[in-house]
Amino acid sequence: MTRLSAITPSGHAHLGNHLGAIRRWAREGSAGDLYFVSDLHAMTVSYNPSRLRSLSRELLAVLLAAGIKPDRVFVQSDLVRELGALSWVLECTCSFGEAARMTQFKQRADGQGMVRLGLLTYPVLMAADILLQGATEVPVGQDQTQHVELARSLARRFNSTFGEVFVVPRAVMAPTAARVMDLSDPTRKMSKSTQDNAGVVFLLDDPDLVRRKVMRAVTDNEKRLEYRPTTQPGLANLLEILAACVGRSPIEIADEYSSYGELKEAVAEAVVAELAPLRASTLELLDDPKELDEIRAAGAARAREWGRHVLESALRMAGL
Ligand code: ADP
Ligand code: NA
């Protein structure tokens, strides 16, 4: 079994990525799991090239620092030639209607000055990511199941038209881990791509900045310290963050505090403590570019080698 997960370098990694995904990947991942930094996917909207390069590097360092095994991680663009070739084959297996039907395309195209063709074909590149590595399972949130369904259809169609090459993947629901909300607007998810960063705790923020962001978190005027996600979302978010950091339940924690200030201080300290080792190891890796380059090159070589056979068979069967 190979499970494939990715993180897009569209911004700096944050507390939500850590508590909701990265920490779980490092703790619960099994030997066959694979992780990659999806920098090619970050090019589907307007972006800055040098920022993309440094964010990809940073995310790779974060994944390694979190404890994911170096031989299970790679950067997507290190396989750009293989993925480009396979994407073309798959694009010629996919109908325009299928691509145009993707609901995420419609959402993401909305509000883009220029809608890049890559935004439309991105699910096909995602299919190439999955099929090249022969992934059997792709853990996804609700918003990505349609894309994994497309990868499934394309694999099946290719196999039945040209011959059995691809493992047919299936989407698995990512376990519902902590969902961290933005500290200055608890109605929205903490996200890399939020313009206003005041409510986003980045993994590399220094401890004082983390404390300031937590202390300024939006709560409410109810002065009732209970875990009520629908009526007191800001407070519930703080309780959930603390609960995720210390491994307890938010309801239990709510019982122990009587003032918002006292709770915020506890949250700030717990987050600082949770992030300290990750931050230190990430900075250490970023400080030694040669070492990081070597790890990266080894991961890329391994992923390329795993995919080589699939790619060669697919090209040959497609008539190339
Ligand atoms: P972002 O929305 O910050 O760009 P991604 O879409 O790249 O994050 O998600 C990478 C991983 O981090 C996914 O597994 C996603 O479920 C998880 N994740 C992202 N934001 C949060 C959040 N606020 N709370 C919990 N998990 C999150
Ligand atoms: Na995002």
User: How much is the ipTM here?
Assistant: 0.94
Q: Whose CA is nearest to atom 9 of ligand 1?
A: 7
Q: What is the pTM of this model?
A: 0.95
**Structural domains of the chain, with CATH:** 4-177+289-317 (3.40.50.620), 197-283 (1.10.240.10)
Most confident stretch, 16-30, 52-66, 107-121: 52-66
Residues whose CB is less than 8 angstroms from the CB of residue 118 and which lie 6 or more positions away in sequence, other chains included: 43, 44, 125
Residue pair 167/155 in contact (Cβ under 8 Å)? The answer is: yes
Helix, strand, coil percent values for the chain (each to nearest 5): 60, 10, 30
User: Each residue of 154-181: pLDDT tens digit?
Assistant: 999 999 999 999 999 999 988 766 789 9
Ligand 2 centroid from CA 194, angstroms: 8
Ligand 1 — pocket residues by CB below 6 A?
7-8, 10, 16-17, 20-21, 141, 178-180, 189-193
pLDDT value of residue 26: 93
Find residue 173's DSSP bridge partners: 140
Q: Whose CA is nearest to atom 10 of ligand 1?
A: 7
